[in-house]
Structure 1
Amino acid sequence: MSQKTILITGCSSGIGLDAARTMKARGWRVFASCRQEADCDRLKGEGFDSPQIDYADSESIAAGLSDVMAQTGGTLDVLFNNGAFATPGALEDLPTDGLRRNFEANVFGWHELTRAVIPVMRAQGHGRIINHSSVLGLVSQPWRGAYNASKYAIEGLTDTLRLEMADTPIHIVTLNTGPVTSKIRVNSIPHFERWINWKASPRADQYEAKLLKRLYESRGPDPFELPPSAVSKKLIHACEATRPKPRYYITTPTYISGIARRVLSTRGLDWLLSRGR
């Protein structure tokens, strides 16, 4: 049996890095892509194939996938769309260009890479496309509008793709994570500083009282936070099960939110989600 292959994006740290190491340990040939060349070089030092893929750069997507295809002879068993970033701040303070930038990386790039991979999987007669969504693709939280919106978009794209690909041998899977240890808070700071003029906001007092502290101060693990290995455990099943689930929930808040959005009224759900505001 030939070695199974998987392309994972966003492998510089956190969930992507743990997923790459986990799947490699299970005997998969892992293409652990990163946005920055320095991170790719570091992973190559660990023995990974590490193509550079920046979701916001079409040429990077095409070149990265071409690199993978050249090394596999034109096949790929699994694509795990994982790389994304957040731009914290109130939506009324977020310039549309900032939201557009978030969608380029978190949505449009995923769509572009996925479209490029589908013909490969059609030709080989099998494949799996796994999209890393979030609890914030199920429910929203204040101050995270750009990220909420991007994950809601991924939910819509993935659900539609799953329906459309049902007559093909390609499985479409969603992973919904909640609080998982990662660098997303730290990595979001440059985007916040670039796009949010919080001092000029009518919510300046709220920024000072709450958001700035949450953003700049390390408070230790969030309630119910799990390590990245919790995601990798579900990824293994999504990749290796004969009949993978269409959706995997990860962390207690994700299960609670999935139930809450089905049983609560809109006002009830708003009340629940606003309690930590």
Structure 2
Amino acid sequence: MANILITGCSSGIGLETAKLLKEKGYKVYATARKKEDVLMLQELDFIAYKLDVTNHIEIAELLEKIIKLDKTLDAVFNNAGYGQPGAVEDLSTETLKEQFETNFFGLHEVTIQAMRIFREQGYGKIIQHSSVLGIISLKFRGAYNASKYAIEGISDTLRQEVINDNIYISTINTGPVTSKFRENALKKFNEHINIKDSYFRTIYEKELKTRLESKEDTTPFNLPASSVAKVVLKIMKSKKPKPRYYVTIATYILGFAKRVLSTNLLDKLLNKI
């Protein structure tokens, strides 16, 4: 029975992926940052552990437990992450660092620690959860855009460095998917952005906050979180998974636009979103 470590399983994509893989017979190590979420996962009969991806000691200890239990590790799904809204000029360097600590540096730390295991056993799969915003950029999402572009760069490089090995790096570019992403983004927006003194105060109050606070998701081409879970399942079942997987029609459309449009035309298109 193949096993997989999944980060960020408290809700949404991580939780749905853990459920689907467990249902299909995979041994899932489901993790979450908060103790209450770990208890929730345990109540759902998961093998669940607390894992803060910004803590390299927690990562090392968990991987050691997995190897002691199973002797091997077949795959890692680097899913943990969040979005920090706000115009670039309103992002403090500390806020940007915080975004990168989870979305990029945490992902990287899990990756390199897993790679040591994969090198020793001679195989493994690393699934990196990027975004359509790792391909194109949207306004007021600068921190998140940058963190996902960083994932693209490090994953593209790593993929070349394992090209002759039995280790596969797959990047998932997810478009609009139903999850608690907006709810968590709103918390970070209120926590880190000085709305009152911003040049964009009116836009923040009339548009951005309204969208983040809305209980209805009217985003075009939106899909349920299970759509990503199905892609992870496909990767797990594949002997030679593809290097990249698009999820949602929006990703295909915007990915195509990035390839064929001039930068000026693309900027005008994206600015309307």
The yes-or-no answer on 1:208 pairing with 2:205 is yes
Structure 2 unaligned runs (5+)? none
Structure 1 unaligned runs (5+)? none
Is the 8 Å Cα contact of residues 51 and 68 (structure 1) preserved in structure 2? no
The one of 32, 45, 55 equivalent to 2:43 is: 45
Aligned to 1:137: 134
The yes-or-no answer on 1:32 pairing with 2:19 is no
Is the 8 Å Cα contact of residues 122 and 169 (structure 1) preserved in structure 2? no
The one of 5, 9, 21 equivalent to 1:7 is: 5
Instruction: Give the whole-Å Cα distance in 2 for the aligned partners of 1:71 and 1:15.
Output: 26
The one of 261, 267, 271 equivalent to 1:264 is: 261
Aligned to 2:21: 23
Aligned to 2:234: 237
The yes-or-no answer on 1:146 pairing with 2:119 is no
Instruction: Give the whole-Å Cα distance in 2 for the aligned partners of 1:88 and 1:68.
Output: 36
Instruction: Give the whole-Å Cα distance in 2 for the aligned partners of 1:10 and 1:69.
Output: 20
Tell me the number of residue pairs that the alignment of Structure 1 and Structure 2 aligns: 273
The yes-or-no answer on 1:189 pairing with 2:186 is yes
Instruction: Give the whole-Å Cα distance in 2 for the aligned partners of 1:221 and 1:245.
Output: 31
- Deviation, 1:190, is 2.1
Query: How does the TM-score come out when normalised to structure 1?
Result: 0.96
Query: What SS does the aligned partner of 2:102 have?
Result: helix
Pairing 1:77-88 to 2, within 5 Å after superposition:
77-88=74-85
Instruction: Give the whole-Å Cα distance in 2 for the aligned partners of 1:207 and 1:221.
Output: 19
Which amino acid counterpart does residue 104 of structure 1 have in structure 2?
A: E
Is the 8 Å Cα contact of residues 125 and 169 (structure 1) preserved in structure 2? yes
Which amino acid counterpart does residue 18 of structure 1 have in structure 2?
A: E
- Deviation, 1:5, is 0.3
- Deviation, 1:272, is 0.6
Instruction: Give the whole-Å Cα distance in 1 for the aligned partners of 2:62 and 2:212.
Output: 32
Instruction: Give the whole-Å Cα distance in 2 for the aligned partners of 1:201 and 1:24.
Output: 46
Which amino acid counterpart does residue 58 of structure 1 have in structure 2?
A: H
Stretch moving more, 41-50 or 62-71: 62-71
Query: How does the TM-score come out when normalised to structure 2?
Result: 0.97
Runs of 4+ in 1 over 6 A off after TM superposition: none
Aligned to 2:116: 119
Instruction: Give the whole-Å Cα distance in 1 for the aligned partners of 2:177 and 2:36.
Output: 24
Which amino acid counterpart does residue 259 of structure 1 have in structure 2?
A: F
Pairing 1:153-172 to 2, within 5 Å after superposition:
153-172=150-169
- Deviation, 1:70, is 2.6
Is the 8 Å Cα contact of residues 186 and 209 (structure 2) preserved in structure 1? no
Is the 8 Å Cα contact of residues 34 and 51 (structure 1) preserved in structure 2? yes
Which amino acid counterpart does residue 234 of structure 1 have in structure 2?
A: V
Which amino acid counterpart does residue 25 of structure 1 have in structure 2?
A: E
Task: Give % identity.
Answer: 47
Query: What SS does the aligned partner of 1:249 have?
Result: strand
